[in-house]
Amino acid sequence: MAKQGRTKTREFRELTARLRTLPSVVVDDPHFIRLKYLRYADDWIIGLCGSQKLAEEIKQEIKHFLKEALKLTLSEEKTRITNAKAEEAFFLGTILKIGNGGKAKVTLSTSRSGKKVKRRSTGWETIMEAPLPKLIKRLSERGVCTAEGFPIAKAGWAYLDTDQIIHLYSSINRGIQNYYGFVDNWSKLSRIQYILRYSLAKTLAMKYKISLSKVFKRFGKNLTIVIKRKEGKEDKEVSFYSNHDWSKDRDAFQGSSVSNVERVRMTIQMRTRSKLGLPCCICGESAEQIVMHHVRHIRKLSHRREPTGFNRILRAINRKQIPVCGSCHGKIHRGEYDEVKLTDLAYIPS
């Protein structure tokens, strides 16, 4: 029909659709066996094209090898035999299964030479997905959202500097997206980004004691803060990392360019940012020896027990520590600054 120029006919299209449903090899040959083994640290998985009986035999051989050669015991609970066409396997945080119901289609894949080529698919290719319910549960355990996935403020981060808070949320969002860049349900990760973005906005609202709408009005849609540098240096702009391209790319994990990826900053490193280079926030003097006056658990005071003395200042600006000179530090502990008001400070540390 192609030689006769009949490629645009209805009959040709119907035959092409039928052709795509037929595999190019014999898929039920009882004498054909294929086995793949993959391990990362102590997690491993075996892909088998074969019978259920053969899968059981391989499992017993592995069990025997672990016991006799490595003196290890195979966990029966974690070691499962799964029919990939009817069930799901879970490996390295990724859901694995075969097929989308046998629906034939044309897909774009990468050849061994790295060239993008079109190929036919009978609908039984490997499907890899990110476990959205588990990711939301993990965020819930970290205090970013409720169990249902509704964003909430993370109170434990509200006392940090604004750029630190934005960095922490960006690290989580960037880390999840870098890890799951290859999955077939990539677009659904926009839900995770939404949770993190609004949790960040609510945390900033808690920090500054303003409404959610005022947070976006002050910091913009992308939740951006500009940090003023010293003379001669450019201002630093810190924004929440947001992805805007949700088109699926199965070969994303093969990319070698990671220059735009920041290192994940751990919370413990973010808590101890030093402000010793700043002047005294009470008198404004730039002394050679600046110390940090700090208190513990200032945020745990309830409405029934208001903070007294200089702690009222720390509570008002939502901080646990402020830079002061040695002279002012002594006056704080002697109670000479108990009646100080916010307007009396030389500046409010941010």
The pLDDT value given to residue 273:
55
Tokens for 223? Answer: 């939740």
C-alpha span between 152 and 280 (Å, rounded) = 35
Give how far Cα 312 sits from Cα of 39, 300, 316, 332, Å.
Answer: 56, 13, 6, 12
How many helices (H) does the chain have, and how many strands (E)?
Answer: 9, 11
> Could you give the C-alpha distances from 226 to 162, 240, 348, in angstroms and in order?
10, 12, 17
CA-wise closest residue to 273 among 208, 332, 321, 207: 321
* CA neighbor of 248 nearest in space, from 88, 107, 51, 81: 107
Q: What is the mean pLDDT of each run of 10 residues along the chain (350 residues)?
A: 89 86 75 89 89 92 93 87 87 86 71 79 80 93 92 89 90 91 90 95 93 92 83 78 85 57 43 63 76 68 62 78 85 86 79
**Alpha carbon distances (Å) from 48 to 31, 32, 59, 77, 125:** 13, 11, 11, 20, 14
Return the pLDDT at 149: 92
Q: What is the pLDDT of residue 71?
A: 92
